[in-house]
C-alpha cells in the first residue's frame, strides 16, 4: 500500500502591490483556517510535520504558503526581477497573507509564523486585528537582537549574498540558530532548505527581519488582544530573538501570552516538532474554545 | 588536560568524509587560538591538510580565538545558550571569528571542526 501524506499542494494567483504572483501553497485539515508563514530564506517545507499532525488538522485547515521567490513560488512573469536587488519590506509582508486570506475567502483566520514570519504575527496583530482572530509569533519581538541589527545590510549581503560563497554556507550558518538538543537529521534538513534558496533572497528577506520590523513601545501597548489574541513562543537557543527580547514585548502587550520553549532554537517547528507541539497544542485548543464560545 | 588536542583532531579530521569534502580547494591556514599564548595552525594545500601543530606568526585567512573558558563552553556536549555555534558565540559571547570570504565559504567545515573537537573532548 502506498504511503501518501494528507497534504495537497496547489498554485494560486495573487496580485500584491500591482504585481501578479503565481504562488504555491499546501494545505491539510479542516476547520478554523490557520495560515502559516515561513522563515527568511526558506519555504513552507518547514511545516511538513505540523501538516501531518492529526491533532492539529482535525480542527484546523492549515495553509502553508511559499512567498514569491521562495520554494515553489517562482519570481513573477512580466517583471524584470533580475535587474533589481531583491529586498522585502513590511508593506508587502503584511499585504501578502491578507491577500491570500481574501482570495481563499478565509473567515478571520489564525496566522502563525516563525522568525520573520514571527515578527509578522506581531505586525498583523498591530496593523489589522480585524482580519485575524489570533496570531502566533514564533521567535518574534519588538525588533531582532541589536547585536545582529548592528551588523548592517552591507555586511549581511557580504555573508549571505556573496559570489565567493556558495549556498551551502547559508545553510551552515543556520547552525547558530539551532538548539544543540535538536536531532541531527532535523538540523541537516533545515540547512538543506536554506541551501536551496534563490540567490540573494535570504539576505533580501533580512531587510524586513532586521530593519523594517520595528515595533515601538507605544505601538506594542496599543495591540488589542481582545480583537486579535497574540501568542508568543520563543526558543531558549535563539540568539536572533532571544527569550529576553520576546519578554520585553510581552511586558508591553496587555493580555498577550508568552512561553519560553526549552531546548529549542530559532526553528522550533522543524528542529524538533515533537517538542514544539507541546507548546502549540494548548494555544490551538484555546483558540478553538474561544471560537466556539 | 588541554582544551584542544590538535593531534587528536588531525587524526579524526583526516579521515572524516564531511570535513574533508567541506575543506575542498582550500589553500592556507586555519588558526585556532586558546587565549593569548596557545595557538594551533591547520595548514591546507588544495584542500588537503598538510600539517597541524603549533601556530606561527604567519597570516591566517580563517581564525578562531577564544579563552580557555570560552572553548570549554563551546565544546560542552550540550553548550549553554549561545555557545552552541561559532557564530552565535562570536556575536553573543565575544569569541573572535574571522570575517573573511573564506570564513563564510568554509563555514560548513568550521561547523564540522567544532563537532569533531566536541567529540574528542567528550572522549577525553
| ipTM of predicted assembly, 2 dp | 0.95
Mean pLDDT of A58-74: 98
Q: Is residue B118 part of a domain?
A: yes
Summary mean pLDDT of chain A:
97
Q: Is residue B45 part of a domain?
A: yes
Tell me the C-alpha distance between A80 and A267, whole Å: 33
Tell me the C-alpha distance between B85 and B94, whole Å: 12
**What pLDDT, on a 0 to 100 scale, did the predictor assign at position B57?**
81
Q: Is residue B1 part of a domain?
A: no
> Which of these ranges, A164-173, A180-189, B10-19, B53-62, has the smallest mean pLDDT?
B53-62
CB-based contacts of A236: which residues, under 8 Å, 6+ apart?
Answer: A179, A243, A260, A261, A262, A263, A264, A265, B81
Q: Which fold has domain A8-292?
A: Rossmann fold (3.40.50)
DSSP H stretches of helix in A211-272: 217-222, 243-250, 268-271
Q: B101 and A165: CB-CB below 8 Å?
A: yes
Residue B34 has pLDDT above 80, yes or no: yes
Domain limits, chain A: 8-292
CATH number of the domain within which B96 lies: 3.30.1050.10
**What pLDDT, on a 0 to 100 scale, did the predictor assign at position A201?**
98
pLDDT per residue as tens digits for the range B57-102: 889 999 999 999 999 999 999 999 999 999 999 999 999 999 999 9
Q: Is residue B41 part of a domain?
A: yes
Q: How many domains are there within chain B?
A: 1
Q: B91 and A176: CB-CB below 8 Å?
A: yes
Q: A164 and B105: CB-CB below 8 Å?
A: yes
Residue A61 DSSP class: E
Residues A268 and A261: beta-carbon distance below 8 Å? yes
pLDDT per residue as tens digits for the range A10-31: 999 999 999 999 999 999 999 9
Q: Is residue B61 part of a domain?
A: yes
* Inter-helix orientation angle B107-123/B86-93, to 10°: 90
Residues A60 and A110: beta-carbon distance below 8 Å? yes
pLDDT per residue as tens digits for the range A193-249: 999 999 999 999 999 999 999 999 999 999 999 999 999 999 999 999 999 999 999
Tell me the C-alpha distance between A234 and B83, whole Å: 18
Taking every pair of Cα atoms in chain B, the longest distance, rounded to a whole number of angstroms, is 36
On chain B, the residues whose CB falls within 8 A of the CB of A268 are: none
Mean pLDDT of A179-187: 98
On chain B, the residues whose CB falls within 8 A of the CB of A236 are: 81
Q: Is residue B66 part of a domain?
A: yes
Residue B10 DSSP class: H
Residue B1 has pLDDT above 80, yes or no: no
**What pLDDT, on a 0 to 100 scale, did the predictor assign at position B2?**
86
CB-based contacts of A79: which residues, under 8 Å, 6+ apart?
Answer: A19
pLDDT per residue as tens digits for the range A141-170: 999 999 999 999 999 999 999 999 999 999
Tell me the C-alpha distance between A16 and A116, whole Å: 19
**What pLDDT, on a 0 to 100 scale, did the predictor assign at position A271?**
98
**What pLDDT, on a 0 to 100 scale, did the predictor assign at position B48?**
95
Among A162, A177, A180, the residue with its CB nearest the CB of B101 is A162
pTM given for the model: 0.96
Res. B56 pLDDT band, cuts 50 70 90: confident
On chain B, the residues whose CB falls within 8 A of the CB of A169 are: 104-108
Task: Give the residue numbers spanning the domain of B79.
Answer: 6-123
Res. A54 pLDDT band, cuts 50 70 90: very high
Length, in residues, of chain B: 124
Amino acid at each position: 500500500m502506498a504511503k501518501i501524506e494528507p497534504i495537497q499542494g496547489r498554485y494560486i494567483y495573487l496580485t500584491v502591490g500591482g504585481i501578479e504572483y503565481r504562488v504555491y501553497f499546501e494545505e491539510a485539515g479542516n476547520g478554523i483556517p490557520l495560515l502559516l508563514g515561513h522563515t527568511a530564506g526558506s519555504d513552507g517545507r518547514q511545516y511538513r510535520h505540523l501538516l501531518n499532525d492529526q491533532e492539529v488538522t482535525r480542527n484546523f485547515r492549515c495553509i502553508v504558503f511559499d512567498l514569491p521567490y521562495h520554494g515553489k513560488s517562482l519570481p513573477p512573469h512580466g517583471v524584470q526581477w533580475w535587474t533589481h536587488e531583491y529586498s522585502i519590506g513590511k508593506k508587502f509582508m503584511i499585504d501578502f497573507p491578507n491577500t491570500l486570506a481574501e482570495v481563499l475567502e478565509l473567515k478571520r483566520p489564525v496566522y502563525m509564523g516563525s522568525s520573520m514570519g514571527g515578527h509578522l504575527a506581531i505586525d498583523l496583530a498591530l496593523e489589522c486585528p480585524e482580519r485575524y482572530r489570533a496570531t502566533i509569533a514564533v521567535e518574534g519581538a519588538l525588533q531582532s537582537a541589536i547585536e545582529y541589527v548592528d551588523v548592517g545590510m552591507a555586511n549581511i549581503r557580504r555573508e549571505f549574498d556573496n559570489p565567493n560563497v556558495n549556498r551551502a554556507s547559508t545553510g551552515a550558518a543556520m547552525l547558530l540558530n539551532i538548539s544543540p538538543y535538536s536531532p541531527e537529521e532535523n538540523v541537516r534538513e533545515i540547512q538543506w532548505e536554506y541551501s536551496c534558496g534563490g540567490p540573494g533572497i535570504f539576505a533580501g528577506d533580512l531587510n524586513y527581519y532586521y530593519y523594517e520590523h520595528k515595533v515601538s513601545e507605544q505601538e506594542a501597548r496599543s495591540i488589542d488582544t481582545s480583537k486579535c489574541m497574540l501568542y508568543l513562543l520563543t526558543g531558549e537557543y535563539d540568539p536572533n530573538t532571544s527569550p529576553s527580547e520576546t519578554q520585553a514585548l510581552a511586558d508591553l502587550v496587555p493580555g498577550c501570552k508568552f512561553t519560553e520553549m526549552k531546548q529549542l532554537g530559532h526553528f522550533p517547528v522543524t528542529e524538533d516538532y515533537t517538542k514544539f507541539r507541546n507548546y502549540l497544542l494548548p494555544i490551538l485548543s484555546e483558540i478553538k474554545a474561544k471560537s466556539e464560545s | 588536560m588541554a582544551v584542544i588536542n590538535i593531534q587528536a583532531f588531525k587524526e579524526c579530521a583526516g579521515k572524516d568524509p564531511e570535513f574533508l569534502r567541506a575543506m575542498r580547494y582550500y589553500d592556507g591556514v586555519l588558526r585556532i587560538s586558546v587565549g593569548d599564548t596557545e595557538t594551533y595552525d591547520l595548514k591546507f594545500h588544495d584542500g588537503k591538510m598538510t600539517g597541524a601543530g603549533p601556530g606561527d606568526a604567519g597570516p591566517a585567512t580563517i581564525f578562531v580565538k577564544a579563552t580557555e573558558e570560552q572553548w570549554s563552553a563551546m565544546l560542552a556536549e550540550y553548550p549553554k545558550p549561545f555557545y552552541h555555534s561559532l557564530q552565535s558565540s562570536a556575536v553573543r559571547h565575544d569569541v573572535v571569528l574571522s570575517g573573511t570570504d573564506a570564513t563564510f565559504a568554509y563555514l560548513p567545515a568550521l561547523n564540522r571542526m567544532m563537532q569533531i573537537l566536541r567529540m574528542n573532548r567528550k572522549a577525553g
